[in-house]
Amino acid sequence: MKARVHVMLKDGVLDPQGQAVAHALGALGFEGVGDVRQGKVIDLELHETDTEAARAKVREMCEKLLANTVIERYDIEIG
């Protein structure tokens, strides 16, 4: 079973990298770009076959390592 974790900075946490990307897009002539936020995608291959058990396990991984919940939030996709 595959799982995909999206890790993003929480709303309200300033994202200097996202701002730099927004600035660079503007410099390239792309107009109409508002806020840009940059995050991470982590793909996991799991031996687990039960969707809910997999989700619970990945949630624990996020809380313990994959995300720093002081500044980041995460979303989990299973399958």
Partner 1 sequence: MKAAVLVFPGSNCDRDLAVAFRAAGAEVTMVWHKEDALPAGVDVVGIPGGFSFGDYLRCGAIAARSPITRAVIEHTHRGGFALGICNGFQVLTETGILPGALMRNAGLKFVCKPVDLIVETGDSAFTSGYEAGQRITIPVAHHDGNYVGDADLVARLSGEDRIAFRYADNPNGSVADIAGILSENRRVLGLMPHPERAAEPAHGGTDGAALFRSLIGALTPA
Binding site for partner 1 (CB under 8 A): 13-14, 16-17, 20, 64-66, 68, 70-71
CB of 51 or CB of 68, closer to partner 1: 68
Of 79, 50, 47, 78, the closest CA to residue 62 belongs to 78
CB of 16 or CB of 34, closer to partner 1: 16
CB 65, min distance to partner 1, A: 6
CB of 28 or CB of 65, closer to partner 1: 65
CB 29, min distance to partner 1, A: 22
Q: Residue 74, exposed/middle/buried by CB under 10 A (0-12, 13-18, 19+)?
A: buried
CB 71, min distance to partner 1, A: 5
Provide the b/e sequence for 40-68 (b: ≥16 CB within 10 Å). eebebeeeeeeeeebbebbeebbeeebbe
